[in-house]
Amino acid sequence: MGSDHMSTFAPSGVITLTTDFGHCDPFVGIMKGRILSIFPAAIIVDLTHEIPPFGIAAASFWLARAYAYFPIGTVHIAVVDPGVGTARNILAMEMDSHLFLAPDNGLLTGFPRKEHRVHTIDFDRLRLHGFPPPSATFHGRDIFAPVAGKLAAGVWHAHELGPASPLLPLGARGGSDEGLGIKGEVVVVDHFGNLLTNIERAAIERLRDPRVDIAGHSLRLCRTYGDALPGEVVALVNSFDVLEIAVVQGSAARNLNLGCGTPVQIGAKPAG
Amino acid sequence: MGSDHMSTFAPSGVITLTTDFGHCDPFVGIMKGRILSIFPAAIIVDLTHEIPPFGIAAASFWLARAYAYFPIGTVHIAVVDPGVGTARNILAMEMDSHLFLAPDNGLLTGFPRKEHRVHTIDFDRLRLHGFPPPSATFHGRDIFAPVAGKLAAGVWHAHELGPASPLLPLGARGGSDEGLGIKGEVVVVDHFGNLLTNIERAAIERLRDPRVDIAGHSLRLCRTYGDALPGEVVALVNSFDVLEIAVVQGSAARNLNLGCGTPVQIGAKPAG
Amino acid sequence: MGSDHMSTFAPSGVITLTTDFGHCDPFVGIMKGRILSIFPAAIIVDLTHEIPPFGIAAASFWLARAYAYFPIGTVHIAVVDPGVGTARNILAMEMDSHLFLAPDNGLLTGFPRKEHRVHTIDFDRLRLHGFPPPSATFHGRDIFAPVAGKLAAGVWHAHELGPASPLLPLGARGGSDEGLGIKGEVVVVDHFGNLLTNIERAAIERLRDPRVDIAGHSLRLCRTYGDALPGEVVALVNSFDVLEIAVVQGSAARNLNLGCGTPVQIGAKPAG
């Protein structure tokens, strides 16, 4: 296919994978086999395969916060796809000189509002380029992996995959600002049992002496886990610039018996 | 070692790993270290390390259905090896321009009946080529990894590893055809709780209007998960060409309380 | 930075990762993105990410027993770091022509007593070389990964990272010798439920007809799992040269209901 004069995407050869496939089955390995069959020099990195089954919001949360740590020119595949085999589309989005491939189910809409261009993959066009008809249930193997291989190899360009299309917003995301406080909720529970929320650093920094309220606990913000004693419940702005509730050297999810969807509120006077 | 004029195997540099080692311990990482020490340009892909402990049949099922998605010239290591350290042999099988290394415990016998050549690894010959005596309990590190490295680097060839030997059949495998119906069983439960059976697409396509019977449920075949409503139990021929029973956006294993060994039957009139 | 005339470290391009980050979140993937952004040719191998949260001793145990299986010139990152964001130092240790990066919390002190050189990373120096200020909670991403990338690329050398510093011993480690017996404990439970102890092969080989006592069981040493029947409890010196208690084709941890910290004793007459 030809070149795209508007694109700033120059492939680095790196491909990341984000799925809800888990680690028990060879599904991820098979995707890598397909990629290497098409692009033997691919450098493939697992972002995570333990997105909760069909957890579109969690996949969107992590991909949006992780992609920028990869080299410019990386192709990011995200397959959390309850609609696989139905008429749902697959999108290719270019943003920040990175490329993202994901089902058109809202996964790509949790990203920062940067300039981006989106194309809908035209399955007939793939057929013309020699792709066999995909299975009805494993597009990770049959579409995402080989298309990513072609894009990462620089053989195909995103605008050639199909027509440009708008990215439908997923509705209000992130903590909402009401009066002087901020309301949000827990959106991810990580491996350590830390509760990650959708309240961003920027919103918090507008507040003076903020206090975090969650499930009857009223917490002062601290800077890092080591600022409190083992077993203490702490609130901090974490390394992904969102509010996190943690138990020092313990599990907030288990100790407080809380999970995704738990409401969180920050009350404070506005700063300065 | 010399060249083999009958072989069609030309190494791609790719090595896959299938084990029951899990992800908790550094066993898999250590195997990769050994491979890279011998063949620094190796491209190593994890197929799965969550084969149930000593689950030879599951390893055989997945490897047989996954290998062809990798580049021709790939070396596939499979270590599910309850007999490690005893007198059991290790086999190298060449098939379809791929190479497979596995213990001689039936793991390589669940494959399609294609032309293949098998060699038994001669441990004395390894010693002559400078291998230290293997430990009694970790042949993945001491034999499989370095031998695969030599094969993937093109330094050694399978026929040089030891004498040719027959591959003993594992007995009847796959769903058996009785009268107009097909009997089989669940052989793998995947990460989503889907129940994968040993009934192949080809056998099902001979039937007209097939119905699937499992644990008191009588199911019509559908094409993909999205063809039914969330929570419904469906039967479909999956992307690995075997019959699968699933709960849409749920877990068939949990919802139906079923697992490996559950009998499955398909009843129908023959097609055409 | 300049060269170090005392160093024998010549980078192989390989970097290993040992953490307690688990596989649920993209933390490990993000570290790899950072490494590849700095050193695109890096070969990154996961050693394990399932060290128990804050399990410094387990990380030390595995890294010390695994590193030598990697190519000379490998950089090993170990991030088990309850003190992240506090004033704790990060160390770079050169030993056996390998490099190790870890928090200064004892992780590097479980190693064999070989000649080694240790430097404390000077965070101000990193700043001078263009590193942005690190977050308070994710030094794996902000310090370990990019520093390892620079070292593995051969752009930086360990002695340039900061001042030489002694490695404080962690106190008595390993099984202690009392009279004619050896006392130790279980330090790791592996994926199979095997109980790995801190009693080394060398200590055992000094004994004649050793018997292993653990939780009321008195066991003779055997050579490999296959030397006993399925379900039997066995003691053996494993492939990492430490005493291990196992249940053949079963889980010693579950069957015997034992875990880390369980005392183990070997009684015997001295050999020869």
Read out DSSP for chain A?
Answer: ----TT------SEEEEEES--SSSTHHHHHHHHHHHH-TT-EEEEEES-SPTT-HHHHHHHHHHHGGGSPTT-EEEEE--TTTTSS--EEEEEETTEEEEEESSSGGGGS----EEEEE--HHHHHHTTPPPPPSS-HIIIIIHHHHHHHHTTSS-GGGSS-B------SS-SPEEETTEEEEEEEEE-TT--EEEEEEHHHHHTEEEEEEEETTEEEEEESSGGGS-TT-EEEEE-TTSEEEEEETTS-HHHHHT--TT-EEEEEEEEP-
- Our measurement of the distance from residue B171's CA atom to the centroid of its chain's CA atoms, rounded to an integer in Å, reads 16
Tell me if C30 and A18 make a contact (CB, 8 A cut-off): no
Q: What percent of chain A has pLDDT over 70?
A: 91
The pLDDT tens digits for A188-237 are: 999 889 999 989 898 888 888 889 999 999 998 988 888 888 899 999 99
Closest CA–CA distance from residue B87 to any residue of chain C (Å): 9
Q: Residue A2: what pLDDT?
A: 43
The pLDDT tens digits for A139-171 are: 999 999 999 999 999 999 999 999 998 876 544
Give the whole-angstrom CA distance, residue C88 versus residue B152. Answer: 44
Q: What is the mean pLDDT of residues A10-25?
A: 95
Q: Residue A171: what pLDDT?
A: 40
Q: What is the mean pLDDT of residues C235-262?
A: 92
Which residue in the set A24, A25, A137 is minimally distant from B225, CB to CB? Answer: A137
> Which residues in chain C have their CB less than 8 angstroms from residue B25's CB?
48, 50, 62, 188, 190-191
Q: What's the Cα-to-Cα distance from B92 to each of A112, B54, B107, B147, C46, rounded to whole Å? A: 51, 20, 12, 10, 27
Q: Are A139 and A91 in contact (CB under 8 A)?
A: no
pLDDT(C42) > 80: yes
Q: Residue C252: what pLDDT?
A: 95
Give the whole-angstrom CA distance, residue A166 versus residue A164. Answer: 7
Tell me if B138 and C239 make a contact (CB, 8 A cut-off): yes
Mean pLDDT of chain C: 89
Tell me if C136 and A71 make a contact (CB, 8 A cut-off): no
The pLDDT tens digits for C51-110 are: 988 889 899 999 999 999 999 999 999 999 988 878 889 999 999 999 999 999 999 987
Beta bridge partners of A18: A48, A78
C63, burial (CB in 10 Å: exposed 0-12, middle 13-18, buried 19+): buried
Q: What is the mean pLDDT of residues C163-167?
A: 87
- In chain A, what is the straight-line distance between the N-terminal and C-terminal CA atoms, in Å? 56
Q: Residue C176: what pLDDT?
A: 60
Out of A108-122, C155-169, C171-185, least confident range = C171-185
Q: What is the mean pLDDT of residues A180-191?
A: 87
C15, C54, C137, C191, best to mutate vs chain A, most A CBs in 10 Å: C137
Q: Measure the CA dihedral C53/C57/C58/C61, to 10°.
A: 160
Which residue in the set C36, C53, C88 is minimally distant from A14, CB to CB? Answer: C36
Identity of the residue numbered B164: A
Tell me if C224 and B37 make a contact (CB, 8 A cut-off): no
Higher pLDDT among residues A79 and C85, named by residue: A79
Confidence of residue C213 (pLDDT cuts 50, 70, 90): very high
Q: What is the mean pLDDT of residues C248-265?
A: 93
Q: Are B77 and B64 in contact (CB under 8 A)?
A: no
Residues of chain B with pLDDT under 50: 1-5, 170-173, 271-272
Tokens of B151: 């094969």
Confidence of residue C270 (pLDDT cuts 50, 70, 90): low
Q: What percent of chain C has pLDDT over 90?
A: 65
> Which residues in chain B have their CB less than 8 angstroms from residue C46's CB?
28-29
Confidence of residue C179 (pLDDT cuts 50, 70, 90): low
Single pTM value for the model: 0.89
Residue C154: how many CB atoms within 10 A of its CB? 14
A27-38 vs A145-152: helix axis angle to the nearest 10? 40
Give the whole-angstrom CA distance, residue B231 versus residue B255. Answer: 9
Q: Looking at residue C132, what DSSP letter applies? A: P
The pLDDT tens digits for A98-132 are: 999 999 999 998 776 788 899 999 999 999 999 99
Q: Residue C180: what pLDDT?
A: 61
Confidence of residue C1 (pLDDT cuts 50, 70, 90): very low
Give the whole-angstrom CA distance, residue B134 versus residue B141. Answer: 9
